[in-house]
Each structure stands twice: as structure tokens, then as C-alpha cells.
Structure 1
Amino acid sequence: MIINNSLDEVKKRENALSIIKDWVLNKSRESLYDLTGLSGGFIASPSEINLLETYVGPAIFEEELQNVGIEHMGGEKVLPLNRTSSGILATILTLVDEGSNVVHYLAQLPAHPSIPRSCALVNANYSETDNFEEFSIPDNTSLVVVTGSTMDHKVIDLDNFKKVIEMAHERDIPVMVDDASGARLRTVVFNQPKACDLGADIAITSTDKLMPGPRGGLMSGREELIDNIKVKVNQFGLEAQPPAVLAMLNGIKNFNGDNLIKSFSRKDELFDLLNENFTYFKPTPTGVMIAPEDLAREISASHNLSDKDLAFVFSFILLKEHGIITIPPVSMPGASATIRFDLSTSDAFNLDLGDLNKKIVSSFNNLEKIVINEDKCREIVFTF
């Protein structure tokens, strides 16, 4: 095993960031391709930057964020956070009682790890399922959670979405929607309503996913709940700071759904190209992906690596040799190791898909050559 624990995941991320820094400094930013779908951005004018003081910034920008945030997310009020995970934690700290149940429905397991980890902090009983026929709400349930779009961009069925909300509200149980990428993916590509418009009490999105905003979170929902959650947010320092608030505001203003639509059409071209050499790549709404277990099925050489290790090594080869950033090298501990090539990013618009296909094939061929050497694989992941 190469990646054995959360510390290993932190160390591989540090190495990936060092590789990215070296690439930018010694080659160029233009030759680096962020295909994570999480590239985000920080849009700000010089005059706006001059207002980013501790108290002046929120005074100037938070009110306007209320307006554009509600338009983007729905709900009665929005709350900017330093991470989506922070909003999930604050919601669970506010609404979930010790010993009570939290039940979670999503289109495909597993859930984002921040949800069960937050439940563990309050000693709540947590369960999740992707089988709607098995979903139920037991007695003593404090919160129902729904994921709009999974970490691998599996989008929830709209009818099931509505039914889960109805089931919860029949029992007067609040519903929190983890809509990290779904707030845009569901609504733009799949024409689903906003989570709050469907009746969700709380919805949370990531402001760097499929939009040009910062790494942060934006929560929307019922004003009374938002206010109560905001107390916990401020108590534990989970609020977004002025620069992030400004970047969220401008990120939403500059969000262009047409980019998602374009990536939705381009992904078929890339998928067809990859199918000439591979069997187990799968399309996503905005690109293509290969899960760790499917990558293992593509490998013909004998080796002792785990499926996740293969994904980490493959993704580091893509980064080191071709400057292609995918999620596994830079992800936080517990994130999915699925390798996605997301075509909704600005970098992807400048990348010829035939050339991208050649880079993926070349990296895979190099992976097959080194999988028999575990020490070499470990060096690729951990050594700059």
C-alpha cells in the first residue's frame, strides 16, 4: 500500500502542490491544465481589493451577496462559509441531538466524508443509502440529508429528491442538501429546480465547483435556520473572510451556464477517443472519468497495488509528465480517488481533445510499465 492513512493523503497533496508550483515557475501557467472542475478563481477589481478590510469588506459586499446568492441558490437568506464542509459541520452542530439519527440519501455511495465525520462529533447515529427502496426515516431522527450531485457527479433522480423531502417534512424533520456541484450541475445541465425551491430547508454549495469562485461554501435556506446556524459558524470561526466573500459575489456574477452546456457536448468526443484504447472509462455530465476499480481492470501487468494506489500513481504521472491536474493528487483526505477529466474549466477550452487523449494514453502506458515496482510508484506520489 502507498496511501495508508489521512497523513499520507496530506503528504501526497503537499507534493502535488510543489509540482504545480515548479511547473508554473519554470514552464508556464498556460501549459498547465486544471481539469478537476474545482479550479475556481478570484475575480476582483483593484477598487474592490482596496475595500477588503476586516469590517469594511463584509459591510460592503455581504449585502450584495445576499441578493445574488439567493438568486443563484434560492431560499430566504444565504450564509458565506470558508468551506462547504464548514457549513455541513455547523448545520449538524446546530440541528442534530446527541444519540439521534441522521439519514442520508444519495444517488451513489459514498457520501462526502464531512457528513459522517460531523455526525460522529455529536455522537449521532448516521446511515446512508443509494437505494431508494431501502431509504427510511426512523424514529428520533434530527436531520435528513440529500446529496444533489455526488463527488463523481452522479445526479439524483428528481422524483426521488422530491419524495425524500416530502417524507422528512411529513415528520417535521429538516432537510439539508449537499449541493456542492449540484447547485449548478443539476439546474443547468439536468434542468432540475434549485434545492430550496424543491422544499429543502438548507442547501449548501461549493463556490469553486463548476464556477469561477473561491474555495468556499455558500449556504441558503430558511432565514430562521440560517440565523441559528450562523451562531455556530461564528462561534467556531467557520465564516468566510472578506476576500472570499468578494470572490463568491463576483464568481456568481460571472457564472456562465453555457460553459457547462458546451462541456456536456464535448465530453462525447473525448469519450469516443478514449474508447479506442480503453474499455472502462465512463462519461460524466461534464467530461469523462475512471474509477479506481475500473482503472485496475484496465491494467494487464501483475502488481500488488490497491485500486486507489493505482489511481494516485496514474494521476501523478499525468501531472508530472503533462501538467494535467486531476482531483486525486490535490484532494483532501477521504475524497474520492476517481480520476475525472472535467471539460467545464477554462483550461479545458484551450485543450485539443485529440491531444488530451494522447496524453492520457501515454500516461497509462507509463503506468503499466512501473506498477510492478512499488518503490518507484511510491516515489512518483511522494517525491517532488
Structure 2
Amino acid sequence: MELVEIGGDRDWQAALTKAKPNLVVVTTVTSALELLDDTVTSAVVKATHAVGAIAFVDDAYGARLRPVLHGGKPGLALGADLAITNCDKAGLAGPRAGVLAGRPNLVTAASAKGAEFGMEARAPIAAGAMRSLQAFRPEDLREEARSGQALAVALAEKLGRDLVVVSDLGPMVDEQDVLAVVLRRAGRSAEGLGLVPCEVSSALGMVLLRDAGILTVNTHGQPGARVSLRLKPTLDAIGRVGGQDAVVAAVDTALDHLASRIDDVSAISQLVLGDQT
């Protein structure tokens, strides 16, 4: 079927009227933690219902981040027919599983289709998801946000405030900027470089994992995940790797390590992919 994708700051009303969809998915918070205002979400939901379509709120981060950190409303309170979140982001400890809520007939239909694809949550996963939700404390998320933002400020002091984005949950450095920092430290331009930004940011993730035990999307994300450096520490994670200064030092040392090897494509390849022989 046709997919029409449009930003919340664009003329989504015209796109909605023209497309005449059966389903409208509203992503409230992106993986880069860009936030869609509740008034926009609510307006899209109302317009969706007006054309007879199902409103599905993708609330992976937003289910907790919006109400707890920004005073927003839950997805279903915004009028959504279905809302989904997951159990390993923004104050929840896992497992890696989705939680779907909404109109009973639609939840039942989605559950049946998931079972057809072998994607249903078996009993241990369902129990783990329930325990994760039961253990959720808004203050834990607020503490994660405070520690992540403090880490972002410290990393910005080290790398430059123009490079580090301070998000709700921690620092983010675009892959283009990661490459620029490495090239600057290597004292060379991008001319003749045998690497692209995502390879350098992936290598950075591998060094952080190998030398400091820091997990990032760069090493553990699924295909299609963002390739920028994003640090979103869970509760007590910073302390487990030695504190905020240790994390900043690990990133700084990893960048120096890559700078010293930036012209050795085979070394970077082995770092990212392992021994392929």
C-alpha cells in the first residue's frame, strides 16, 4: 500500500484529505527525541477520525517522556484508537517488547496478526513486561534525564557546544560531526578518505564498548537505526562505568584512537566487522 510521510510542522491536513488513509500513525517523539506538541497530535487524531481512519499513536519514548518530563497527556487521552510503547526506553528496564493498548477490537485484531507472524509475546516476555511496568517510577525517569543532561553538558565542554546536542535524556553527536572531530584530531581533510561518517561512528561505538563497556546504538542497534552517537544512560549506568568524568574521558580517548587510525581502512573495518577471513 502507499505510504505518505509528512512532518507535523507541514500541511498534514491537506495530505490527510488527499490520501484518504485507512490508518494514520503519529510519532510523538522521534529517536532523536524531537517532540511533537500534544495540540498537533490531538488535531491529527481528530482529523483522522473525520476521514474515517484509525489513529495509531507511536509512543515508544513518548508514553513516559511526554507526561513525566513535559506535562503532556497519554496517547489514549489524546483520542488515539491505538497507542504503543516499549519496555526498554525512558525509565523502563526491559524486556525488549512492545505494549499495545486501545480499543479492544483493534487490540485483539493486532494481537491475532502478531501471532500469525510469530511475533506474539510468550508468557515469560509478557510477565517481564508486566513487572517492568509495575516497577516504573516517574522519579527514576526524571533522575535519568538529570544525569543524561549533566553528561551532555560535560561532553559539550570537552568537544564543543556547537557539536553536542543536549536532549532530554543525554548527549547526541551527529555522525558528520563525529567524522569532523576525528579528522581534525588527525590533522587531515576529508579528501581521499576511504570511510564514510556511519563507519566512523560505528567504529567509535565499538571502541567505547571494548574499552569502557559503554553500550550504544552504534554497536547494538537494528538496521535502520540512527548512526549518530547517542548516550541515553539508564538509572545508575553512569556510576557503573566510573562516573560522568569517566564517560567523557572514554569518548575523548576513543576519538583519539580513531584519529590515529583514520587512514587504515582495514583496521577500521576489522574494528567494526571483526575478522572476516
TM (norm. structure 2) is 0.88
Deviates more, 1:357-366 or 1:289-298: 289-298
Which sections of structure 1, spanning at least 5 residues, go unmatched?
A: 1-123
Structure 2 contact 84–99 (Cα < 8 Å) conserved: yes
2:227 pairs with one of 337, 344, 349: 337
User: Could you tell me the percent identity over the aligned residues?
Assistant: 24
> How far apart in 1 are the matches of 2:222 and 2:149?
29
Aligned twin of 1:196: 76
Which of 24, 32, 37 pairs up with 1:152?
32
Secondary structure in structure 2 of the residue aligned to 1:128: coil
Q: CA deviation at 1:131?
A: 4.8
Q: Which amino acid aligns with 2:215?
A: I
1:283 maps to: 166
CA drift of 1:270 comes to 1.9
Question: How far off is 1:363 after superposition?
Answer: 0.8
Letter in 2 for 1:176: F
Per the alignment, residue 321 of structure 1 pairs with 211
Residue number in structure 1 paired with 2:250: 359
1:89-168 matches, cutoff 5 A: 124-135=1-12, 136-137=15-16, 138-168=18-48
Q: How does 1:204-353 map to 2 (within 5 A)?
A: 204-210=84-90, 211-279=92-160, 280-299=163-182, 300=184, 301-302=188-189, 303-350=193-240, 351-353=242-244
Q: SS at the partner of 1:317?
A: helix
Aligned residues: 261
Q: Give, in angstroms, the shift of residue 151 of structure 1.
A: 1.5
Equivalent position SS for 1:329: helix
Shift in Å, 1:319? 0.8
Shift of 1:126: 0.7
Change (3 A) 1:154 1:139: closer
- Asked if structure 1 preserves the Cα contact closer than 8 Å seen for 2:58 and 2:85, the reply is yes
* CA displacement 1:33-80 (0-9 Å, x = unmatched): xxxxxxxxxxxxxxxxxxxxxxxxxxxxxxxxxxxxxxxxxxxxxxxx
TM-score (norm 1): 0.65
Q: Residue 158 of structure 2 aligns to a residue in which SS?
A: coil
- Deviation, 1:349, is 4.4
Deviation at 1:316, TM superposition (A): 0.6
Deviation at 1:282, TM superposition (A): 0.8
Contact 1:292 1:337 in 2 (8 A): yes
What do the CA deviations read for 1:99-142 (whole angstroms, capped 9, x no partner)? xxxxxxxxxxxxxxxxxxxxxxxxx1112122522322124311
Letter in 2 for 1:197: A
1:180 matched residue in structure 2: 60
Q: Distance in 2 between matches of 1:140 and 1:266?
A: 44
Deviation at 1:184, TM superposition (A): 1.4
8 Å contact from structure 1 (residues 264, 285) kept in 2: yes
2:165–2:172 contact (8 Å) kept in structure 1: yes
Using the TM superposition, give the Cα deviation of residue 368 of structure 1 relative to its aligned residue in structure 2, in angstroms. 1.4
Pairing 1:55-66 to 2, within 5 Å after superposition: none
Counterpart secondary structure, 2:22: strand
SS of the counterpart of 2:159? coil
